[in-house]
Amino acid sequence: MAENISILGSTGSIGTQTLEVVREIGGIGVRALTAGKNIDMLEAQAREFKPELVCVMDKEKALELKNRLSGTGTEVLAGMEGLIAAAVLPSADTVVNSVVGNIGLRPTVEAIKAGKDIALANKETLVTSGELIMRLIKENNVHMYPVDSEHSAIFQSLQGNDGNRIENIWLTASGGPFRGRSDLSGVTLEDALHHPNWSMGKKITIDSATMMNKGLEVIEAKWLFNVDLDRIKVVVHPQSIVHSMVEYEDGAVIAQLGVPDMKVPIQYALTYPKRIKNSFPKLDFFERNTLTFEKPDMKVFRCLALAFEAIKTGGTMPAVLNAANEAAVAKFIDGRIGFTDIPLLIEKAMNAYTVKYDYTLDDVLEADEYARDFVDTEVF
């Protein structure tokens, strides 16, 4: 169980819910908090939890926050150096990485090297560098606990069972706002941001609409649970009650169910192997009495197919997939491309790239830069 934590991305959805968990169960100290530029929320968090340090990625905002927190005893840092300082802070035993994007990669690497356990909600860490990260986890004798609801469900379903006897991992997907549609042309930003079950940030919500979110989770699952890709299946489950399942070779299927809420997975990552009573919403079987399952349409949701292609190729290709997706989603949010252009741009970036297989962290970052430049400069 975590005793003292650093939260990277404390003003985002997962970060704020992590602090809700800390308030609810008590007994966990908050030693560092970081944000991109939301210093109003970060200031409020710092005054409540009294961390040793906070970091703001925006350096001008960091100076403003430093003035605001003058006399509180909380150190204010800025940029990537500050983010890494929060990740390796000696007084924290666990780092909750909930930043969005590949910016979370370097702090994760440094935290692992510093002997910290990782509660991971940053998809890009394993998507872009899964082989490298899991090797570092083993070499430094630390633990990685999944925070995403799907991977937490798999992790929970593995407890007390023989992981070597897995037949299939079933990753559930809500299907997003366009489930069942055969034509996604004309989709607007407002349409794509209207998720039926979950409240998330813009980028993640768009990823859910394209189903890239599930594709990234497939790649994460391969590394987290050390299974072959052909044993990872995606099933659309519109109610988002079954968070994921593990099918064993004897035919038994173990699933974890709950309301669509991230606080229980967050709590389990922080308190493992303990379960602690809380007042979070509980599942009412009589109210939510219908569970349905469907096959995903890989042709309509091309991003999901591209994710499978990227991890099959291996090496640095998943890093290209991830970065190209981030850049394409940003273009869509800015109104520069259409919704269906997102997978087209990603596929073009992948096809034009030469993969590196024996890769380093620098190779991953170079692949990331290549993909972003490609997408940014590509004109339809």
Token pair in block for residue 363? 């190779």
DSSP summary character for residue 34? E
Tell how strand 166-173 and strand 242-248 pair up: antiparallel
Q: What's the predicted TM-score (pTM) here?
A: 0.93
**Dihedral sign (CA 157, 238, 192, 212):** positive
Question: What pLDDT, on the 0 to 100 scale, is given for residue 2?
Answer: 97
The amino acid present at 236, given as its one-letter code, is V
How would you write the pLDDT of the chain (380 residues) with one tens digit per residue? Answer: 999 999 999 999 999 999 999 999 999 999 999 999 999 999 999 999 999 999 999 999 999 999 999 999 999 999 999 999 999 999 999 999 999 888 899 999 999 999 999 999 998 899 999 999 999 999 999 999 999 999 999 999 999 998 889 999 999 999 989 999 999 998 999 999 987 666 667 888 899 999 999 999 999 999 999 999 999 999 999 999 999 999 999 999 999 999 999 999 999 999 999 999 999 999 999 999 999 999 999 999 999 999 999 999 999 999 999 999 999 999 999 999 999 999 999 999 999 999 999 999 999 999 999 999 999 998 76
Whole-angstrom Cα distance, residue 354 to residue 291?
Answer: 43
Alpha carbon dihedral 281, 287, 288, 289, in 10-degree steps, equals 150
List Cβ neighbours of 150 (8 Å cut-off, separation of 6 or more).
Answer: 171, 172, 217, 221, 243, 244
Phi, psi for 297 (deg, rounded to 5): -95, 100
Question: Domains, the chain, ranges and CATH?
Answer: 4-146 (3.40.50.720), 151-262+280-309 (no CATH), 314-380 (1.10.1740.10)
Whole-angstrom Cα distance, residue 177 to residue 236?
Answer: 12
Between helices 302-313 and 202-210, what is the axis angle to 10°? 90
Whole-angstrom Cα distance, residue 329 to residue 193?
Answer: 12
